[in-house]
A = this chain, B = another copy of it.
């Protein structure tokens, strides 16, 4: 009989189980209002869109090419990199050679490919701003790549800590290969790097010879700020993109743009494709075709295509922040940050907000949220919770905040030890 202790050690790691735990809470209390899921709102979609996107793409490449692309294995790098390059130019002012792009099964696969590729031996480590998305911690565990946390500070990355962690790693005989971060409306913090920090980070990374893995799933949903990649004069940025929030989650299409040359090989993209050929062979061409159709139909401008979504997310975020302000007027021991966009805000509460409190909250108060400790690998965030509101109506936000306030008030009255 199989035994968990004789399977890969990552399977016993909290990073791989915490998402399951959180989903179970949501499943058990379907009537609860949930501030947990960082999912895109699907109300503007219809199934006919899929058919139309497919047709637009087939018209674009012609029926003969289309049959080959849809019904055969395709190139490992993908079949729509030229269209993705045009989208990067339109939305982000990024110039990327289509050959430097690898289309992936969501951004998660891109992250996994990067980790597998950059981990040569036990000396290699990844830096990542903390708190961090559990997909980073989990993929790192699967590739036996230690993650060294870098403080987020007030702007998304604490540059002093970044430099200090690199120094410390090198003194310990380790090789910090790259630093993962979400510069725009990060998950889970909602923080965004200001321009000054972006420029300084790029110079520091180049000076230290550490790649920056820029993940940008939320950048479109808020005021525009230049991506690290568009500011990069050193060739130090690997750009990870996702169409899950901006086009369609059900296609699971993401990508990585990594034109960095590799001595003795091709580009980093070429090496990532070699790894991908042994994991997923290629990203389903049918899914790529749907995303391609959406890009073509919108003249590659997804910022414009997402105007309604952006407005809805922005309204919800304002309702959330205003609702918090009304319920917790100063002076209050309940505080929160005020992201300018994206899906997330972080609330600090005067008690330990762990999985047990979450279960109580769901059961007794009918409101669900995400304990922040999951994003710290258990090493912090014990009195913080992440709030997302992308899927909620104004009424749900209002009622949800009332329930949350009731939970907080109950806990404050108990008086925590």
A249-B72 in contact (CB<8A): yes
Q: Which residues of B contact A263 (CB under 8 A)?
A: 1-4
Q: Tell me how many chains of this kind the complex includes.
A: 2
| Residue interface bits A115-127, CB-to-B below 8 A is 1, else 0 | 0111111000000
Bound complex: CA of A347 vs CA of B144, how far in Å?
Answer: 42
Bound complex: CA of A156 vs CA of B232, how far in Å?
Answer: 55
Which DSSP category, helix, strand, loop or mixed, fits chain A's interface? helix
Point out the residue from B1, B8, B45 that lies within 8 Å of A116, measured CB to CB. Answer: B8
**A231 interfacial contact with B, CB 8 Å:** no
| Residue interface bits A98-114, CB-to-B below 8 A is 1, else 0 | 00000001101100100
| Residue interface bits A37-60, CB-to-B below 8 A is 1, else 0 | 001101001110011001000100
**A237 interfacial contact with B, CB 8 Å:** no
**A10 interfacial contact with B, CB 8 Å:** yes
| Residue interface bits A56-84, CB-to-B below 8 A is 1, else 0 | 00100001001111111110000000000
**A337 interfacial contact with B, CB 8 Å:** no
Bound complex: CA of A275 vs CA of B42, how far in Å?
Answer: 27
Point out the residue from B19, B58, B63 that lies within 8 Å of A277, measured CB to CB. Answer: B19
Q: What is the chain B residue whose CB lies nearest that of A282?
A: B252
B106-A280 in contact (CB<8A): yes
**A268 interfacial contact with B, CB 8 Å:** yes
B109-A17 in contact (CB<8A): no
Stretch binding the partner chain, chosen from A135-143, A196-204, A371-379: A135-143
Interface residues of A (CB under 8 A from B): 1-11, 15-17, 19-20, 39-40, 42, 45-47, 50-51, 54, 58, 63, 66-74, 105-106, 108-109, 112, 116-121, 135, 138-139, 141-142, 144, 175, 244, 248-253, 260-265, 268, 271, 274-275, 277-287, 290
* 5 additional contacts (CB under 8 A) given A11-B275, A105-B281, A287-B287: A11-B274, A16-B274, A42-B67, A138-B277, A142-B279
In the complex, 28 of the A-B residue pairs with CB atoms within 8 angstroms, ordered by the A residue number, are A1-B261, A2-B268, A3-B264, A4-B264, A6-B120, A8-B116, A8-B117, A17-B274, A39-B72, A42-B68, A42-B72, A46-B67, A50-B54, A51-B51, A105-B280, A108-B278, A108-B280, A108-B281, A109-B279, A112-B278, A139-B279, A141-B278, A248-B286, A250-B284, A251-B284, A252-B282, A279-B279, A286-B287
